[in-house]
Structure 1
Amino acid sequence: MSGAAETTYYTNDRVTVTNARFMVDGETHAISGITSVKLEVKKPNRILPAALIIFELLALTSGKNLATLSIWHWAIILLPGLIWMCFQRTHYTVTLASASGEHRALKSKVKPFVSEVVEAINQAIVRRA
């Protein structure tokens, strides 16, 4: 695009998308080299925390009178598994495809942010032609 002004489709403190470049965390990708972009979703594996909670419940109930257990017994036994499960988050990734393969360019826990970046890159790809 010789002589043409660069149009910005999205910008913030971490990402800038123009009709010529996609810049993220100090890394620059040429829009002309990007063939497609997609948003990937990676959900956390909650099998281990769930197994821990089940194991803790089984250990708690084996051979004990449940009526004699206080709320503190329940909290202390179940808390590690519940905390582990609550702190797991879904990760969203901007994946760029080019002639050389796929590249994960941006990862975040905030879906609207990643969606906006993907949409801006799509606009830049469409309008470069």
Structure 2
Amino acid sequence: METTITQPQQETVFFQDANVTVTQSRFISGGQTFAMRNISSVSNFHIKKSRAGAILLLMLGILMLFSEATRGMGIALALAGGVWLYFTKDSYAVRINSNSAEANGFVAKDRDYIQKILDAVNEAMVFRG
């Protein structure tokens, strides 16, 4: 009797860096692994950060500038609100849709980076057929 040993199929890698790996059968991000066969679609999901607190602080600081008694505090509050507003950035996510749920597969502030990952996942889905 002859024994046949088959070599495991080599996975095609569509995208790989320190944070994310996309192959023909898996999407790996951080501690999460998604099987490509369970993914029905992916999309770029925009996560808007609230700027209300920063705007409120900035406006309060500006209003305090009109009174000489509160001008110093107004400058500090206006600067703090302006800096807070400047550093508040929206995030983007690779939104994974499967038969059972939706999940954010990976979140980052760089929309182009998320788009590269989405393109790789779409390529992997097409490759699987």
Corresponding residue of 2:14: 9
1:93-108 alignment runs, 5 A limit: 93-108=93-108
1:5-24 per-position Cα deviation (integer Å, ceiling 9, x unaligned): 31110001111101111111
With normalisation by structure 2, the TM-score equals 0.83
Please name the residue that 2:30 is paired with.
Answer: 25
1:51 matched to 2:56: yes
Give the equivalent residue in structure 1 for 2:89: 89
**Cα deviation, residue 74, structure 1:** 6.3
SS at match of 2:40: strand
Q: 5+ residue gaps in structure 1?
A: none
- C-alpha deviation, 1:76, in angstroms: 2.5
CA contact (8 A) 2:63 2:74 kept: no
Residues 47 and 26 (structure 1), Cα distance of their counterparts in 2 relative to 1, 3 Å cut: closer
The alignment's TM-score, normalised by the length of structure 1, stands at 0.83
1:73, distance to aligned residue in structure 2 (A): 7.1
SS in 1 for 2:65: helix
List aligned pairs for 1:57-68, cutoff 5 A.
57-62=62-67, 64=68
Q: For the Cα contact (< 8 Å) 1:20–1:32, is it kept in 2?
A: yes
Q: How many residue pairs were aligned?
A: 122
Coordinate RMSD, CA, aligned? 2.2
Residues 7 and 19 in structure 1, CA contact (< 8 A), matched pair in contact too: yes
Higher relative contact order (CA 8 A, sep 6+): 1
Find the aligned partners of 1:81 and 1:125 in 2 and give their Cα distance: 44
Over 6 Å off, 4+ runs: none
Identical counterparts, % of pairs = 29
